[in-house]
Structure 1
Amino acid sequence: MAIPPGDVVKQQVAAHWGRRAAHFDEDFGHSIRTPGERAAWDRILDLVVPRGGALDALDVGCGTGFLSFELAARGHRVTGVDFAPAMIAEARRKASERGLAVTFDEADAERLPFAPARFDLVISRHLLWTLPHPEAAIDEWIRVLRPGGRLVVVDGQFDPTALVTAPAGGARASAEYAPIRDQLPFLGGRPREEIGALLQAHGVTGVASDPLLDLVEAQAQRMADEGMERRPQRRYVVWGDVPR
């Protein structure tokens, strides 16, 4: 079982995302639907993923597999983990449909079931704010990286009602998180400077960041094209390497 018995907070978080799994890709920011979004994500991955051959990559909090599939399409050996069983089921369905050899398993981002130094790349997207112990998660991600491995955090500062296709979605998320919000220290996201400093404090070297302005603009334009108010989220990527 990915979640320890009795961990009510993680059970509630997993249940929330499990209920959203079937329609997760329909929400803004969870898929690529325009040339602008395609170009932005190509630039982002070219920027942060080390070059020089196929990598053993771990997508933590993979959801329905967005980043896992992007990395697999670039020739990397990818494992995606999430503690919501419905997300993993949807990711596996999509992998089979697309003919991509990606491994998807249930796992807790704060307690990964992997040996030390297992991966060359660990990447997460929009995950830290959902975790009760984000610093413990970062330690785990570093633990499973090989010396010289790359840690990538794609995140942001979020208005939970801004980028959902159904107006009720944001309200439902806010209501479901209300009883546990005090136990999620990064709820709503943190500035990229803070995340960069956090990685440095945990021993990550060569920390750099990018505000992802092209992605923000592409998503805002998509909203406008679909007749919605332009309310893009603030997004960023922070990355660095484990010492050799």
Structure 2
Amino acid sequence: MTATQHANRTIRDEIRDYWSDRAATFDNDPGHKITDGAEMAAWEALFHKHLGAARGRRLLDLASGTGEISRLCNAMGFETTGLDWSEPMLERARAKLPDVTFLQADAERTTLPPASMDVIVTRHLVWTLVDPAAAFAEWHRVLTPGGILLVVDGDFVTRNWVARMMTRFAPAATHGHAARHKEILSQVHFSQGARADAVAHLLGNAGFSPVRIDRRLGPIHRAQAAQLGWRKSLLRRCEHRYAICAHKRLPPPA
């Protein structure tokens, strides 16, 4: 094993352990749990906009966590499979959704068969990737020709002037895992922030086409405002958040 491979393994293990330690309280944090009603409807509208009607298609929810996106997709009519690296997260997801299959694996190395999924969705995974180029190639492999990848993510590092001023005069409360979070962030590929254009470029390099960026997540942010409070809601709206829809092209006709 090379020094680089050893370092990557260590980072991945730390990422897995970090989220495992947060599993018990993960759904208590607004923005992780999807509340029924307006927020769930806003998420469903975003997914329907980019994925269309479910029609029983096979969908893989990567980094499924406690199963909130799987819950959404299952209710929309997709044949849903969740995949996560953290067993404590999976335990909660399985208890929540006993009719959904959940698998333990690294999202960068799914071990799934080629062309086994029609749709892949991820929420807040890409910023944690150690090797996004390899991960995107893996996801392209797992998708069927004509399949769709939907990424919902953001740059959670860069702060605009509004966010900097708010933090300066009223520093944001941090959870007890903040130091570990900062240490992990310093070692992943997008340590300076996962900008939409950079993610889209890497998806194109992996063979996805077309790749479209959607920054219109306002309905979700407005629906989350009641749970977040005015200050955190404003900070969220200032962040560089986005959805990216990418397609695996069909082979040319014979």
Please give the range of the TM-score, normalised by the shorter of the 2 chains.
0.7 to 0.9
- Runs in 1 of length 4+ with deviation above 3 angstroms? 177-182, 227-230
Give the deviation of 1:34 after TM superposition. Answer: 6.3
2:192 and 2:218 mapped to 1: Cα distance?
Answer: 19
Give the deviation of 1:83 after TM superposition. Answer: 0.5
Q: Which runs of 5+ in 2 are unaligned?
A: 164-171
Letter in 2 for 1:130: T
Matching residue of 1:87: 89
SS at match of 1:112: coil
SS at match of 1:33: coil
SS at match of 1:185: coil
Matching of residue 234 in structure 1 with residue 236 in structure 2: no
Identity %: 35
- What is the TM-score with the length of structure 1 in the denominator? 0.85
Asked if structure 1 preserves the Cα contact closer than 8 Å seen for 2:54 and 2:78, the reply is no
2:52 and 2:243 mapped to 1: Cα distance?
Answer: 15
Matching residue of 1:214: 219
- Output aligned runs, 1:185-200, within 5 Å: 185-187=189-191, 189-200=193-204
Q: Which runs of 5+ in 1 are unaligned?
A: none
- Output aligned runs, 1:98-109, within 5 Å: 101-109=99-107
Larger Rg: 2
Letter in 1 for 2:137: D
2:247 and 2:66 mapped to 1: Cα distance?
Answer: 26
Give the deviation of 1:210 after TM superposition. Answer: 1.4
Superposition RMSD on alpha carbons, in Å? Answer: 2.5
Asked if structure 1 preserves the Cα contact closer than 8 Å seen for 2:133 and 2:203, the reply is no
CA gap of 1:159–1:24, structure 2 versus 1, over 3 A, is farther
Matching residue of 1:175: 179
Give the deviation of 1:174 after TM superposition. Answer: 3.3
- What is the TM-score with the length of structure 2 in the denominator? 0.81
Matching residue of 1:42: 44
Asked if structure 2 preserves the Cα contact closer than 8 Å seen for 1:216 and 1:234, the reply is no
Size of the alignment, in residue pairs? 230
1:25 and 1:125 mapped to 2: Cα distance?
Answer: 14
Asked if structure 1 preserves the Cα contact closer than 8 Å seen for 2:59 and 2:120, the reply is yes
